[in-house]
Amino acid sequence: MEPNSLSGKTAIITGANSGIGLETAMVFAARGPRVILAVRNTEKGQAARDAILNVNRQADVEVMPLDLSDLESVRFFAESFRSRHNSLDLLINNAGVMTPPYSKTKDGFELQFGSNHLGHFALTGHLLPLLASTKDARIITVSSLAHRGASIFFDNLDGSNGYKAMKFYGQSKLANLMFARELDKNLKAHSLSAISIACHLGISATNLFKIGNRDATGIFKGLMNRFFQPAHMGALPTIYAATDPSLKGGEYIGPDGKGRRKGFPAIDTPHRSAEDEAAARRLWDVSEDLTGVRFKW
């Protein structure tokens, strides 16, 4: 599946109203598929759609509401999509929240673990029938360098026994990577043509970076633009993972530069923290229990 051969296909991108998600949607929309912008704020989603159409008036772009911190919203999104579409070629699990003050989702999960991991886990599970029936579908899940050295706090997933924002962000991104790899194992075990690939964007200057509750501004934003790669470069690993025909599933894609922080996409090696197969299987079981979503192969 190459970038220029997306015509006639359908792609869902979560968090597609800004940053990496919007850059990914821009590239996809120029290559012919129907692109679904799955966003929490539909007003911002419509603005993103307008921005895409301003560049490419022929683009087929639709905005659909999706709040990954609300499992009912996730279920409703999937049901709405399945009622109107009979195939799904690309699911880009991109949306994320980074280092907020301690807070919980509507369902009582710690916000980062609940939104970044459990929301995408449930979304993928609900959409699995379409992905399984679409030839050579791909599920791309965006992890992060922050997974390095992170742990899954099975005895404190909700942060009620202590919370450090960056550690819990690392947990959520490790969970993303473990999920992507475990998903690919299961897809292959059930002889499905769909594949699952993880990626990370290195360090990119996007609006994911905040200081406390405030967007990064002024001097800090200037430093970001100088030392971090721009969003259009940060989007390349996602695009590569979604389209490169040589990938077989289970890979981890990231920038090829020093420290894997910047550069062009290439196959990366996960930190050993992601190689704990027992923890990955436990995470899968816990995720099914917490979300109530069982993957039906």
Q: Which positions are annotated as active-site residues?
A: 163
Token pair, residue 140, equals 């791309």
E strands within 44-194?
A: 60-65, 90-93, 138-142
- Distance in angstroms (rounded) separating the CA atoms of residues 94 and 296: 23
- Distance in angstroms (rounded) separating the CA atoms of residues 23 and 232: 6
Dmax (CA) of the chain: 52
To which residue do tokens 């404190």 refer?
Answer: 156
CA angle in degrees (0–180, nearest 5) for 12-187-67: 30
Concatenating the DSSP letter of every residue in 45-75 gives HHHHHHHHHHH-TT-EEEEEE--TT-HHHHH
CA distances from 249 to 68, 193, 265, 286 (A): 25, 10, 16, 23
